[in-house]
Amino acid sequence: MKIKLIFGSDTGNTDYVVDTYIINLLDPFEVSVTEVHNLKPKDWDTEDFILLGIPTWYDGDLQSDWEDYYDEFTQIDFTGKTVAIFGLGDQIGYSEYFVDGIGVLAKVIMHNGGNIIGHWPTKDYDYDESKALVNEDYFYGLAIDEDNESDLTFERVDKWIKQLKKEINQIKSIPKNLDLA
């Protein structure tokens, strides 16, 4: 199984989390990394498992590269694709918009036929509102708060990636010809 990791970063925090934790913890998967501003349409033409990284900016907006790319993103057909999302945010400074970007991307992916794995519990965070909620107990993906809880990032990423590996294995063990409808 190969992994295609796509992310954007304005002030380097997401970049840091990718380089320092995510790539190492994804070992032994083969990972290719692309920043959103370098994306080409053919990048989505892949059987790889897709991992997306997005920080939230300016009261619930997408990081600038994701913002520029958003219209094109809404045109991608995610049918048959499995995607997981991690998002960076600040639960204290932007408590009403915490990791909104995760939710914005998740909704497009689901609307366009994709399958999101890696839902993450909300219980260890303290925020008021978020567009990233599946329900009050889960975010659509991993929430990382480098602004206030960088000491927890390694542990969170480690646990989430172990969860993803399990979920990927479950998907792989479902026979392709099985009609799940």
Q: Which residues bind ligand FMN (CB under 6 A)?
A: 9-14, 55-60, 63, 88-90, 94, 97-100, 146-147
Nearer to ligand FMN, 100 or 119 (CB): 100
Nearer to ligand FMN, 9 or 122 (CB): 9
Nearer to ligand FMN, 26 or 65 (CB): 65
Taking the complex as a whole, the smallest distance from the CB of residue 172 to ligand FMN amounts, in Å, to: 31
Tokens 């059987």 -> residue: 47
Taking the complex as a whole, the smallest distance from the CB of residue 72 to ligand FMN amounts, in Å, to: 20
CA pair distance 6, 137, nearest whole angstrom: 26
Closest-CB residue for ligand FMN? 89
Taking the complex as a whole, the smallest distance from the CB of residue 56 to ligand FMN amounts, in Å, to: 4
Taking the complex as a whole, the smallest distance from the CB of residue 27 to ligand FMN amounts, in Å, to: 23
Chain-centre distance for alpha carbon 58: 19
Pairing of strands 133-135, 138-139: antiparallel
Taking the complex as a whole, the smallest distance from the CB of residue 171 to ligand FMN amounts, in Å, to: 29
Element (H, E) at 161: helix 153-172
Phi first, then psi: give them for residue 138, nearest 5 degrees: -135, 140
Q: Is the dihedral of CA 81, 113, 6, 73 positive or negative?
A: positive
DSSP-H helix ranges across 10-121: 13-17, 23-25, 64-73, 100-111
Q: Which of 127, 123, 164, 133 is nearest to 147 (CA)?
A: 127
Nearer to ligand FMN, 88 or 168 (CB): 88
Is the Cβ–Cβ distance between 108 and 77 less than 8 Å? no
Taking the complex as a whole, the smallest distance from the CB of residue 125 to ligand FMN amounts, in Å, to: 10
Nearer to ligand FMN, 21 or 97 (CB): 97
Nearer to ligand FMN, 9 or 82 (CB): 9
